[in-house]
């Protein structure tokens, strides 16, 4: 069973790094982050990565759907979904392996941003390393949540652009929820706040790892992965 | 053995496959023939586990395609319609991926790869990207992935569509060769293809089986008739029917009369030949035979007959 994951995962990672899309999005992601990091870093004289932790989730909103859009949509479009689903792989194995492969690319992008982390360690003082590590964990978890949403977006259509837009919209709505609290009636605001991704992320990136936040992000990942598997399975009964 | 029992598959309101049943014996090459949209591909997709039946079931070696899908898939090599391949992969990487998926271990992979390269004629393109290959080579790669694990069952959905005539001959030869040791289902809308490769054929139209048998059986069942066209002057139908009565198997299938010239089409089993009787009869009654021409039905006509609008009523 686990072997199947490995086989699909390897192929997916290979095909990510065989295509220019991965490199282009990676470079763009890193440039944007580097720009925001360096433009304020020496001005404010702060020894943290707050800028990275604020900007990266926003860049993720575009970056991750761009990575995931082809994952299943492309296979549907070219017909290879029929090929891979008639191999002795279960639909869940295929979807989860693809998710993990995309997450690897996200993690790679994050790995490159540790350049800023290292810079900070060298030139800064009074650094709260724990908070920084927690911040990275937060980014990785949010990245995983977005990737799960992106997987879902890619599973519902055979058009990559449509997949991008669907994933982008879902992520964007989840991201914006706690920023529109002033426009909603009071009794809804705490619910909306709890549903907002950014609310949970901001806790983690401050260095507070609360089980509520982990449960929330875990549920998002699980929910969208299960939905993606369902959607892929649904082809059998359409 | 593959057993399809009362298979029904609907896409929403559209009935793609409507209650079909048939069996494929071990080692048999079955031709699955029908016009586009007849339900061939849908049936194959159910057997391979890509789609689930609306009702009915498919058994492979007494295993059920719904519950034992994974086991069945391991026994099947499948070349889907349009031959979808990962065009961003190298042929080698692609075959290696399939080999892993098919649980071929590393030590066996090398030798098996060489066999498949030899068998499918992939020499020289193994390290090329799939998107650089011609359609014929893509088809070979598709076949290679289907046979790499030496499956008991081979399912090929329109394996020669889109190929040029030379490539078609090659691929057919390859299939015939592979079919010696395997159970093969090959679908096509081209009759000759089935005729040269298959032991038995099933003709399907609008989701229903309209014919099932060896090629010879089908010829006896359907072709078994000769059509004789007659143009006679001074003749009358009543008198002509008296000729028929000489032999029981003759049927007057078309008849018309215009300006004293009678046109008639007779149908009768190949075993009969009433031409001499008709001539004698004509002489006796001083008819003038303007035309008497014989037309033997070919398998092509059988196929057309069975699959053209309303043709199903002609079938058994």
Q: What is the CATH number of the domain that holds B63?
A: 3.40.50.300
Q: Residue A198 pLDDT > 80, yes or no?
A: yes
Both tokens assigned to B308: 């053209």
| ipTM of model | 0.90
- B137 Cβ contact list (under 8 Å, min separation 6): B122, B125
Q: Given the DSSP bridges, would you call strands B183-188 and B153-157 parallel, antiparallel or unpaired?
A: parallel
Q: Is the pLDDT of residue B36 over 50?
A: yes
In a domain, residue B301? The reply is: no
Q: Do residues B26 and B121 share a domain?
A: yes
Give the CATH number for residue B251.
3.30.70.260
Choose the weakest-confidence range: A36-45, A48-57, A143-152, B11-20.
A36-45
**Nearest Cβ partner of B48 from A4, A80, A86?**
A86
Residues B200 and B236 in one domain: no
Least confident among A30-34, B95-99, B304-308: B304-308
What are the chain A neighbours of B101 within 8 Å (beta carbons)? 4, 7, 87-89
Instruction: Pull the structure tokens for residue A104.
Output: 């690897």
CB contact (8 A) between residue B100 and residue A80? no
Q: b/e for A109-129, b at 16 or more Cβ within 10 A? A: bbeebeebbeebeeeeeeeee
Number of domains in chain B: 2
Last residue of a domain, one of B220, B244, B263: B220
How distant is the Cα of A1 from the closest Cα of chain B, in angstroms?
11
From the list B50, B73, B97, which residue is nearest A11 (CB)? B97
Give the pLDDT of residue B221. 65
Distance CA B8, CA B231 (A): 48
Residue B156 lies in a domain: yes
Residue B222 pLDDT more than 70? no
* B230 and B130 assigned to the same domain: no
pLDDT in tens, B152-189: 999 999 988 778 888 888 888 888 888 888 999 999 88
- B310 belongs to a structural domain: no
Q: Find residue B9's DSSP bridge partners.
A: B17
Cα(B151)–Cα(B71) distance, integer angstroms: 12
Residue whose tokens read 């669907």? A166
Q: Are residues B123 and B245 in the same domain?
A: no
Report pTM: 0.86
Position B316 in a domain: no
Tokens of B282: 């004509």
Edge-to-edge strand order for the sheet containing B55-60?
B14-24, B2-11, B55-60, B63-64
Does residue B16 surpass a pLDDT of 80?
yes
Query: What rounded mean pLDDT belongs to chain A?
Result: 90
Inter-chain touch B45–A18, beta carbons under 8 Å: no
Confidence bin at B311 (pLDDT 50/70/90): very low
**Domain-terminating residue out of B186, B220, B254:** B220
Residue B138 in 3-state DSSP? helix
Which residue shows structure tokens 């498919």? B58
Question: In this structure, are B96 and B78 located in the same domain?
Answer: yes
What contacts A201, CB < 8 A, 6 or more positions away? A53, A57, A138, A139, A141, A142, A213
Domain that holds residue B274: 225-296
| 8 Å CB contact of B102 and A83 | no
B28 plus B137 within the same structural domain:
yes
In a domain? residue B308: no
Q: What is the pLDDT at residue B245? A: 56
Task: Please give the pLDDT value at position B246.
Answer: 59
- What is the predicted pLDDT for the residue at B281? 86
Structure confidence at residue B274 as a pLDDT band (50, 70, 90): confident
> What pLDDT shows up at residue B316?
33
- Asked if residue B296 lies in contact with residue B268, where contact means CB atoms within 8 angstroms, the answer is no
Whole-angstrom distance, CA of residue B113 vs CA of residue B94 = 11
Task: Using the predicted structure, report yes or no on whether residue A70 has a pLDDT greater than 60.
Answer: yes
Residues of A in contact with B84 (CB under 8 A): 78-83
Show which of B220, B248, B272 is a domain's final residue. Answer: B220
B43 shares its domain with B181: yes
- Number of CB atoms found within 10 A of residue A136's CB: 22
Does some domain include residue B74? yes
* Helix or strand run (H / E) with residue B114: helix B106-120
My answer on whether B100 and B212 are in the same domain is yes
Using 50, 70 and 90 to split pLDDT, how confident is the model at B204? Answer: very high
Q: Is residue B313's pLDDT more than 50?
A: no
The overall average pLDDT reported for chain B is 86
* Residue A185 CB burial class (10 angstroms; 0-12, 13-18, ≥19): exposed
Query: Is residue B315 predicted with pLDDT exceeding 60?
Result: no
> Based on the domain organization, do B208 and B234 belong to the same domain?
no
State whether A18 and B98 contact (CB < 8 Å).
Answer: no
Minimal CA separation from B178 to chain A, in Å: 20
Identity of the residue in A15, A81, A87 whose CB atom sits nearest the CB atom of B89: A15
């Amino acid at each position: 069973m686990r072997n199947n994951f490995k086989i699909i995962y390897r192929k997916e990672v290979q095909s990510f790094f065989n295509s220019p899309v991965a490199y282009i999005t990676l470079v763009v992601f890193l440039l944007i982050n580097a720009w925001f990091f360096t433009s304020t870093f020496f001005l404010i004289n702060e020894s943290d990565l707050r800028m990275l932790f604020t900007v990266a989730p926003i860049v993720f909103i575009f970056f991750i759907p761009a990575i995931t859009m082809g994952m299943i949509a492309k296979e549907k479009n070219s017909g290879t979904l029929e090929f891979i689903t008639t191999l002795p792989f279960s639909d869940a194995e295929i979807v989860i392996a693809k998710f993990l492969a995309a997450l690897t690319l996200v993690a790679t992008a994050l790995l490159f941003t540790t350049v800023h982390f290292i810079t900070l360690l060298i030139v800064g003082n009074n650094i709260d390393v724990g908070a920084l590590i927690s911040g990275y964990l937060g980014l990785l978890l949010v990245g995983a949540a977005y990737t799960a949403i992106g997987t879902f977006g890619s599973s519902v259509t055979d058009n990559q652009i449509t997949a991008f837009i669907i994933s982008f919209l879902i992520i964007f709505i989840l991201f914006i929820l706690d920023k529109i609290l002033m426009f909603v009636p009071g009794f809804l605001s705490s619910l909306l706040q709890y549903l907002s991704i950014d609310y949970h992320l901001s806790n983690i990136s401050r260095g507070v790892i609360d089980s509520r936040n982990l449960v929330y992000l875990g549920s998002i990942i699980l929910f969208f992965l299960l939905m993606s598997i369902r959607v892929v399975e649904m082809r059998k009964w359409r | 053995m593959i057993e399809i029992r009362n298979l029904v598959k609907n896409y929403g309101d559209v009935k793609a496959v409507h209650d079909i049943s048939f069996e494929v014996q071990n080692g048999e090459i079955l031709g699955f023939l029908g016009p586009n949209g007849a339900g061939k591909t849908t049936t194959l997709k159910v057997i391979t586990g890509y789609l689930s039946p609306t009702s009915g079931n498919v058994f492979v070696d007494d295993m059920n395609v719904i519950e034992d899908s994974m086991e069945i898939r391991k026994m099947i090599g499948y070349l889907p319609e349009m031959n979808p391949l990962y065009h961003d992969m190298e042929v080698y990487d692609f075959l290696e991926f399939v080999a892993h998926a098919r649980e071929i271990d590393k030590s066996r992979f090398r030798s098996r790869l060489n066999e498949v390269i030899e068998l499918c004629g992939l020499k020289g393109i193994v390290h090329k990207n799939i998107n650089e290959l011609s359609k014929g080579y893509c088809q070979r790669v598709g076949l290679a992935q289907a046979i790499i694990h030496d499956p008991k069952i081979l399912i090929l959905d329109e394996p020669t569509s889109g190929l040029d005539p030379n490539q078609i001959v090659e691929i057919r030869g390859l299939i015939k060769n592979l079919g010696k040791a395997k159970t093969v289902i090959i679908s096509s809308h081209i009759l000759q293809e089935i005729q040269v490769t298959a032991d038995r054929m099933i003709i399907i139209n609008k989701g229903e089986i309209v014919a099932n048998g060896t090629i010879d059986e089908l010829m006896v069942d359907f072709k078994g008739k000769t059509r004789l066209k007659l143009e006679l002057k001074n003749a009358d139908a009543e008198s002509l029917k008296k000729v028929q009565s000489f032999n029981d198997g003759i049927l007057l299938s078309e008849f018309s009369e215009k300006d004293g010239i009678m046109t008639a089409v007779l149908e009768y089993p190949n075993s009969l030949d009433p031409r001499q009787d008709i001539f004698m009869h004509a002489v006796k009654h001083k008819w003038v035979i303007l035309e008497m021409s014989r037309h033997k039905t070919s398998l092509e006509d059988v196929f057309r007959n069975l699959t053209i609008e309303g043709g199903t009523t002609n079938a058994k």
